[in-house]
A and B are shown apart, each in its own frame.
Chain A
Amino acid sequence: MYKSCCKYLYMVKNFFIIFLFSIIIAQPIKARDFIGFGIHSGLQYDVGNLGAMNNIDYIGQHSAIAGISIKIDSTPFFFRAGADRSIMIAKGKVLNSSAGKLQELKIEYTSIPTYAGLNFKIRERGKFYIGFGDVYIVGSGKIKTTDREENINKNVFGLGILTGIQLRVGINTKVYAEWEYISAKTEPVVNISTGNSYKDFSIDFTGHRIHFGFSYYIL
């Protein structure tokens, strides 16, 4: 009796180990679609939004974006948070005195956006999503005027709108492309008007961003 019980327990134990081992090595059949981590790169044109200034002749600052994201999908809703770092490719230049004393712009920032919105499943191939949220921006950079070059460190909250599309390329992997619009502007940080000493130029992070990335769903 004792012997047969031990044999039974031994079989159960072996079966349990084999079962666990099988789960570990097996490829999941059902695609994971709940929590995904993403890494992306992107572009922003006219960082500092000089184009919004009146009658200005300028070359806009162009920046690359490197970022990470976490997206939680609970059909039909999604929540997306992340962090993006802008890396200057070409500095912004004012071509004449059309912007007072302002001459050059070299702005870099880290943005921490959080978005929520709706997911729209495109059959089993991917998702389209639209959301809104807020963005915290930690900005830094140099602003060169005719009489000085000032280092700037400013943080600001802004609002954002996000839309994107995800395409499934593996059971747990997706590629994505996103368009992001952020509206955020600091208080004045430097003086650019002639004949006055007050600060009257703000760093404007407002603009459009495009992201292309890859995400891996862990759950």
Chain B
Amino acid sequence: MRNRLIILLIVIFLTAPSYILAGIEYSTGIYFGFMPSMGGNLQSYVQRNSLGAENGIEDINRTSDSSDTEKIDRLIGATGGIEFRGIFRDYYLIKLGLNFTKDIYGGEGKTLDLTGDTVEVKYSMFVYDIPVTVGLSIPFWKDVRISLTGGIAYARGTYKNSFKSSTLNSSAKFNNWAVPVVIILCGEHFIDNNLSLMTSINYYKGASEVKKSNSDYARNDFSGFRWNAGVLMYFR
């Protein structure tokens, strides 16, 4: 009896994957996009303590008629990545991705410190993340799929800042990770049976622990919206 049970379990163990995998539709894709407000407010200890900026880049800009300042814009990131998808029973979707995001605009300029002295400011950020999300993907005939998935990501990034004036010379580099929550709304338009154009809106929410670098302390904030567009290839 015991031997029969063991044989039955072995048979189930060996054959079950084929039943599970047979019903899955696989696809892989590549996409590019952008991220407004990359890095959140980029707050750090030096900004609060030495410059009186309570809210990082959101508070850093100061100007007066007699000063030589340049507006410091929020970081805009260029993003790109690849993803792998499995669709179970036509509707249930699991996605695994790998994304890279780098600032391409903003984060640089001149402001004033609390005494009115000019400060040169520079922020930059690089992030890679691996999101795993599950959700629903609804087909409309054979032309369109619309999906909504949610999950988490492993995100790691490097945030650099520097503040230089006649009385302040601070630069820091924070390399840290977090597991942000991810929500992805995605649409696909099939241009043939195996190839689709896709676009998506992704929302990340999460930041790392505070870390020290030189005399500064900061988090790496991975929160924000991303817009992506690309192509997906299905293996049917």
**In the complex, per-residue mask of A205-216: 1 if CB is within 8 Å of any chain B CB, else 0:** 010000000000
Distance, CA A160 to CA B114, complexed state (A): 33
User: Which residue in A53, A128, A196 is a CB contact (below 8 Å) of B116?
Assistant: A196
A93-128 contacts to B, CB under 8 A, are 117-123, 128
A57-72 contacts to B, CB under 8 A, are none
Beyond A123-B140, A130-B185, A161-B201, whether A200 also contacts B59 by CB under 8 A is yes
A142-183 contacts to B, CB under 8 A, are 159, 161, 163, 181, 183
A198 touches B62 (CB 8 A): yes
Interface size class of B (residues with CB under 8 A): 35 or more
Distance, CA A187 to CA B65, complexed state (A): 13
B201 touches A130 (CB 8 A): yes
Chain A residues whose CB sits within 8 angstroms of the CB of B74 once the complex forms: 183, 185
A187 touches B187 (CB 8 A): no
Q: How far is the CB of B183 from chain A (nearest CB, A)?
A: 13
Chain B residues whose CB sits within 8 angstroms of the CB of A188 once the complex forms: 61-63
Beyond A161-B227, A198-B67, whether A187 also contacts B199 by CB under 8 A is no
Chain A residues whose CB sits within 8 angstroms of the CB of B54 once the complex forms: 53-55
| Residue of B54, B188, B191 contacting most chain A CB atoms (<10 Å) | B54
User: Which residue in A183, A193, A202, A204 is a CB contact (below 8 Å) of B36?
Assistant: A183
Q: Which residue of A lies closest to B145 (CB)?
A: A120
Q: List 8 A-B contacts (CB under 8 A).
A: A117-B229, A119-B189, A121-B144, A121-B189, A161-B227, A163-B185, A193-B52, A199-B62
Report B's interface with A, CB cutoff 8 A.
33-34, 36-37, 41, 52, 54-55, 58-59, 61-64, 67, 71, 73-74, 76, 112, 114, 116, 140-141, 143-144, 146, 185, 187-189, 191, 197-201, 225, 227, 229
